[in-house]
Amino acid sequence: MRIILASGSPRRKELLQLVVPKFEIIVSKVAEKLLEGITVEEQVTNLAYKKAISVFSQTDGNRIVIGADTIVVKNGKIYGKPKDKKQAKEFIKELLEGDKEHYIITGVSILMHKDGQTKEYNTYDKVKVYLKDISDEEIESWIETGNAMDKAAAYGIQNEFCVFVEKIEGNYTTAVGLPTHKVYDIIIKNMGV
């Protein structure tokens, strides 16, 4: 059975290797456009599905296609990837306001075609993140690493920024970008791979 990850994220690649050792990567070219009038959980699941179905429709035969998307949200505001260093700093400062808490939500869509039948699983997982106090100098230093620019809300929990995370409630792999516990259950248990 072909297993395809519809993402070019090195983090998702590393996490999927923990679940299945062999898979291919076909990067989805789907624009990450948010829809009006749906919840954040529906947004992230919808984006994951769009990525998966895009690659699924380009391929054939028995296969499993995995799409994922991650959104950071605080007080109803969705944080995407920053467009520049100034916005990266603004994002982090906003995450530090008030209780210093926010959520990371990762949606997963897994599409399987086997012997003429197609199955579809769409779900998400949510993690609550608590940040520590971070000085302006520390924020600047973090942004200067260059690692803030390709991540939602201008940070990644899996790299140098981890020193500013007080704790998380939920699955660490969800915060990184692929909830391995859910992927395992769907692929191994539900799909029998």
Indicate if the pLDDT at residue 190 is higher than 80.
Answer: no
pLDDT at residue number 191: 63
pTM listed for this prediction: 0.92
Strand pairing report for 2-5 and 24-25: parallel
Distance in angstroms (rounded) separating the CA atoms of residues 146 and 26: 25
Indicate if the pLDDT at residue 123 is higher than 90.
Answer: yes
- Mean pLDDT across 128-132: 98
Residue from 69, 99, 133, 150 carrying the catalytic annotation: 69
CA dihedral defined by 15, 21, 22, 24, rounded to 10 degrees? 10
The pLDDT-based confidence of 193 (bands split at 50, 70, 90) is low
- Mean pLDDT across 100-122: 95
pLDDT at residue number 30: 85
Annotation marks residue 115 as catalytic: no
Q: What percentage of the chain has pLDDT greater than the value 70?
A: 98
Average pLDDT of every residue of the chain: 94
What tens digit of pLDDT does each residue of 49-108 get? Answer: 999 999 999 999 999 999 999 999 999 999 988 999 999 999 999 999 999 999 999 999
Determine whether 121 is exposed, middle or buried from the number of CB atoms within 10 Å of its CB (0-12, 13-18, 19+). buried
What tens digit of pLDDT does each residue of 16-56 get? Answer: 999 998 999 999 988 878 888 899 999 999 999 999 999 99
Distance in angstroms (rounded) separating the CA atoms of residues 163 and 144: 16
Q: Taken in order 91, 169, 106, 19, is the CA torsion positive or negative?
A: positive
User: Three-class SS of residue 84?
Assistant: coil
